[in-house]
Amino acid sequence: MDAVNVVVMAPSLGTDLSYISAVDPRVNVIDANDASGTRLDAALADANVILLGFPVPAVVAAKAPHLAWVHHTQAGVSNLHGCDLWTSDVTLSTSRGVVAPGGIADYALAGAAFFARGLHEGTRQKQAGLFRRGSYQMTRLQDATMGVVGFGGIGRELARQAKALGMRVLATRRSLTAPVDNTDGIDRLLPADRLHELAAESDFLAVCSQLTAETTGMIDAGVFAALKPGAVLINVARGEEIDEDALIKALASGRLRGAVLDVYDGELAGRPPRRELLELPEILLTPHISGRGDSATAEQTRQLFADNLARFLARQELINTVDRDRGY
């Protein structure tokens, strides 16, 4: 392969781009981290490969006639749905498996502990000017079951940490066709179409799956009805995977104890969260920050891209390529 122009549009990975140029002498690195307008257009016009962060421009492929491959620094591909890259024939790859799995798993378990140890009641009482022991309903994580929807990089790390705390752990995996017990370090692994069965046994249900046509709105009224009474929903995936009307009804009825949401429907489109998510005391809502503080993420993403670039130059299969039909 001749010289390859790699355009970098990923400020979150830092200004030192030597990890890219060090891969091979044929690599020409074009720093477009701060580029815009005609300067960005000129960079894209020469691009063979793009390292792309967030936010994602709406038009990339149309401005890059020599583009063969784009690597996205995010784990999910829903950020790409509004870009012409998604409908192009350009090869896409992502950073799933290395984007803050430890930090996000920490967040999910912190959310579970927030409700298990009654901290939500403490928050409610403080706002109401109360100070009473009688309203606290406290449980141990060690005595609870964690249900993990989506057994990818984040789901696996959450399962590992939950097991280390003594929790029983169940999970779903899309590629599985039959349940398997005592595998991959967890108690039971279920096919994705057994979601209601997973919900029925879960004290905490953590959504860690990719957003696809199949997963959009999948946590619906049927899932909430199947959940154990008093269960807690945790979403560290995408807001669109939750039917928010059904969530609010489940909370209002008392069927659901609470919800920990790091995302909400419409967040990626720039819409504010609906009023109920902000006002209901049973909901802990944060602005998509669960992966922050995981210092290993940037270095692992840089290494993943460097490894993939070496594969690209050698005409080998890339890691984490996106299957557009599958949705991730």
Token pair of 297 as six digits: 């993420």
Token pair of 278 as six digits: 């902000």
User: In whole angstroms, what is the distance from residue 162 CA to residue 113 CA?
Assistant: 11
Please state, in angstroms and as integers, the Cα–Cα distance from residue 43 to each residue in 67, 238, 302, following that order.
11, 32, 21
Of the candidates 209, 270, 198, 184, the residue with the CA atom closest to the CA atom of residue 75: 209
Please identify every residue annotated as catalytic: 238, 267, 288
Residue 31 phi/psi, 5-degree rounding, is: -80, 105
Strand (E) or helix (H) holding 299: helix 296-313
Strand (E) or helix (H) holding 261: strand 256-261
Strands 186-191 and 180-183, by their bridges, are: antiparallel
HSE at residue 48, side-chain half, CA atoms within 13 A, is 13
Bridge partners for 183 per DSSP: 186
Strands 27-31 and 49-52, by their bridges, are: unpaired
